[in-house]
Structure 1
Amino acid sequence: MRQSARFTGRHAIVAIYFAFVRSKLEFNSIVWDPHETKYNLLLERVQRKFCRYLYMKMYGYYPYLYPSLFVSGMVGIDSLELRRKCALLVHYFLLFTGKIDNPTALSRCGLSAPPQYTRLRSRPLLATPRVRTRTAQYAATHRAVTLLNTLTAQHPDVDLFHSSVQMFLQKCKECFS
């Protein structure tokens, strides 16, 4: 980014950042998503600095006193945490719709069978697996099942087996932003 100081176009700066920096921050994020706050903040700090730099390029002054969430909203870049959650959910959505073949991950996701006399959607759609360790609690499958249950509880119109990917991604961003 230091070498691109002469670039003035927003699209060129964003393309360079997406290609060289954010691609490394998001590489394999489904597996290594940090569950500790300090590591999450270290990753987000890189993006916040870029958002402030981009804000300065767009508006002509550096936003010292503006909150980071405001600055990232003004430049139109989602947080890395939101992008990691959406990537995980889209991966498992594609797994459920049969567009990705991963029998190991699919075997760890169980459907909740409702009792005989219950109302529709009174229980979560997916059975959350019981875990005994923190490592298993923060594993990708457990996180995905928990997030998918949250998504289907807040947006009952989302169908994990027949919705389009674009509509599913839009609902993910609405739910977790």
Structure 2
Amino acid sequence: MSIQASWLDKTWTIDINALHGIESISLKKELDIEENDSKDGQNPTNTKGYKPQGLSTTHKVAFIAGTNPRQEYAAWQERVGKRSGFYLNGTQFGPTVLILDKVEFKANQISNTGQILAGEITLTFSEDVAKAQAPAAAVELYFGDIAQPETTPGYNPNAASVVQSAYAIRPSASETTAKS
């Protein structure tokens, strides 16, 4: 079995039992440009950086190639919005993390009874540029709750009954001032 490419838990493979190979793949990277309308002689365009990269693939699915086209399309629909790296020939291809944005299905051959015999699936991915966020529990602590002594970091309900160490005892500043 030869693995052509993989993303998340899906693989494009070519083996003796089935043919699930990628037919085409494209990757794009473009500048994010802002037009400047000022007439003061400045550069009319400002480059802000890069737009999120995009990747798209097309592969054929057919009963004759060992795949049920409807089931394969349904499996890809379930993965829309998921994030993972795309690997081609075992090495990462494109951005580190890609989000599956769109799944398109085109039926190429339909039987007399209405069964889809062959089709083409086009997948559209985009680069994940979202910033890491704090866990929901941390957000709730600050936005939804009122800080109580019990929830305040460093609060010790048994502080009054804690025995102090002989090494940590020294006169307070007010005691020192009172003695002099």
Report TM bin, short chain: under 0.3
Larger Rg: 2
TM (norm. structure 2) is: 0.21
Relative to its length, the structure with more helix (as a share) is 1
TM (norm. structure 1) is: 0.21
Relative to its length, the structure with more strand (as a share) is 2
